Copies of this chain bind each other. A is one copy, B any other.
Amino acid sequence: MAKLSPVSRGQPIALDCLACPTRWSAEWAVLPDEQMAEINANKTTRRYPRGVFIYSQGQPCTGVYCIASGTAAVRRAEPSLPAVLVRLAFAGETLGYRSALDETLRASDAKALEPCVICHVEVTLLHRMLRRHRAPLQRFQTHIAVDLDQTEADLAQVAWLPVRGRVARLIVGLVERARGVDTPTGQNGPCEVALPMTRRDMAELLCTRPETLTRALQALEDDGLLRNAGHRLAIPSLSRLRAETVPHVE
């Protein structure tokens, strides 16, 4: 079955940073092997079952987290407002570097949407690294800029796209990031994606409610844009789905 096998609990984890997907992603790629080896020797690795918090808003920052496998989300909960999933983070991405860099309390929290394996690098170790090699720091900083750009786009989208459009956009986005990893087909043909999260999480991501989300998915399915099989979606035509990403024109 397509469902990801749940990680078995309790068994010890040994991960080699030099062989990790994170190794060549974004910020660590510029670090020499020698440094990575030091991180490798001092990191700690944990499994996070679905739904568990990796860190929480308002807490002091103990370090950064590299996702070896699974999907997590950065979550923002303004006091007494429902939470919003501000952005997703996939295997290979580094999480929580912002408070680590400027040594502030966590401004958001992160939670595992699927069972994850995540390594933790102590903030002191991180800073020792960065003092010797400034390149990753710049990578982190441009990462913030990209996040800002993305968040601004999301803001516009939440403000003006109906839920149906946002759902479509999310799915198209997931397909696109899967491209080059495992998708066999061409640009706009049929394809498949996994939704690596529950309906509730997906609703938080799209700033809506689970009920509304279900209905939106249902509507897309009724219109033949989607074929639903739980957490695995079949998409007859990506381009037709992409058309939903844009507000009503006629």
Contact = CB atoms under 8 A, between A and B. Distances in A.
A59 B36 CA distance: 40
A155 B86 contact: yes
Given A148-B144, A148-B147, A247-B81, A155 B154 contact: yes
A120 B86 CA distance: 34
A151 to B, nearest CB: 5
A78 B154 CA distance: 10
- The 10 lowest CB-CB distance pairs between A and B, nearest first, are A159-B207, A148-B148, A84-B156, A81-B160, A78-B156, A151-B151, A76-B152, A155-B155, A86-B152, A76-B156
Interface in A215-250: 246-247, 249
A10 interface: no
20 contacts: A77-B156, A78-B156, A79-B246, A80-B246, A81-B157, A81-B160, A83-B156, A84-B155, A84-B156, A86-B152, A98-B145, A98-B148, A102-B145, A107-B149, A107-B152, A144-B145, A147-B148, A148-B148, A155-B155, A158-B158
Contact of A82 (B148, B154, B158, B160): B160
Interface residues of A, number: 36
Interface in A36-79: 76-79
A223 B84 CA distance: 30
A155 B247 CA distance: 19
Given A83-B156, A84-B152, A84-B159, 15 more contacts: A76-B153, A78-B153, A78-B157, A78-B160, A80-B246, A80-B249, A81-B157, A81-B161, A82-B160, A84-B156, A84-B160, A86-B155, A102-B142, A108-B152, A151-B151
Nearest to A204: B159
Which of A81, A84, A107, A148 lies at the interface centre, i.e. has the most chain B CB atoms within 10 A of its CB? A148
A141 interface: yes
A75 to B, nearest CB: 10
A246 B80 CA distance: 7
A51 to B, nearest CB: 20
A177 B158 CA distance: 27
A142 B83 CA distance: 25
